[in-house]
Chain A
Amino acid sequence: MEDPAQPPAIDETQPSRPTRATPSPGESRAVAFGIAAWFLPGLGHALQKMWGRALVVFFAVGLLVYAGASMKGNVFTRQGTDAFDKLGYIADLGTGSFYLFARAIETKGADVSQAGGDYGTRLLATAGVLNLLAALHAYEAARGHKA
């Protein structure tokens, strides 16, 4: 007969129940920095007091977005019909809040019938991918990896 006052004995022959992995505070902070870096280019580095990198990322992404949109590059929307449009939309979204800036300054629409518009499309996509790379860098730096 088991004594109710005693805690139940642990059966060590049974495998222990897997515990759900909870993110550490440092990991949550790193994710927050990564999201901040995506939303506003350079913010992830600025929050970690990496001022040089923050300024360079901010102005590099901003310049590429400004140049791309003012060269009448294609700022893709989610109404894209084919895979290239969808991939372009994902790349453009990589610029975070600057996507709205690009939409705001390109009021006359894209014109990819001339080379400038085609270059503009590439510059916008480059800005998005560059910002995603910078956000990943900010995330890794916040995790303590050498950066």
Chain B
Amino acid sequence: MNAVPSLELTHFQAFLLFAVVISVAFGFLGRRRPKDRVKYILWSLFLFLLVGIGVGWAMFPFSR
């Protein structure tokens, strides 16, 4: 199995992939009703993005 192309993602794309996949998995594992799952997924995704981007900006002054 050597025909798998290498995947090149930017920082943000990799972060978004992580956040979306984990939010969906947590939503399905943690909630039972579809409406609750959707709310949980959206809220979890929002918090992932908020914290990730927030930490990124918080590190910006020390990056140079």
Contacts and interface: CB of A to CB of B under 8 A. Distances in A.
B24 interface: yes
Contact of B9 (A53, A119, A137): A119
B22 A71 contact: no
A123 interface: yes
A105 B4 CA distance: 6
Given A105-B4, A107-B2, A123-B14, A71 B25 contact: no
B25 A67 contact: no
A64 B11 contact: no
B25 A107 contact: no
A67 B59 CA distance: 26
B58 interface: no
A43 interface: no
B3 to A, nearest CB: 9
B28 A130 contact: no
B42 interface: no
Interface residues of A, number: 29
A80 interface: no
Interface string B13-38: 01001100110110011001000000
A126 B25 CA distance: 12
Contacts of B24: 56, 60
B1 interface: yes
A69 B32 CA distance: 32
A56 B25 contact: yes
22 contacts: A53-B28, A56-B24, A56-B25, A60-B22, A64-B18, A64-B21, A67-B14, A70-B4, A70-B6, A70-B7, A71-B6, A71-B7, A104-B1, A108-B2, A116-B7, A116-B14, A119-B9, A119-B11, A122-B18, A123-B14, A123-B17, A147-B32
Given A60-B25, A70-B7, A130-B22, 12 more contacts: A53-B28, A56-B24, A63-B17, A64-B18, A67-B14, A70-B6, A71-B7, A115-B11, A116-B14, A119-B11, A119-B14, A130-B25
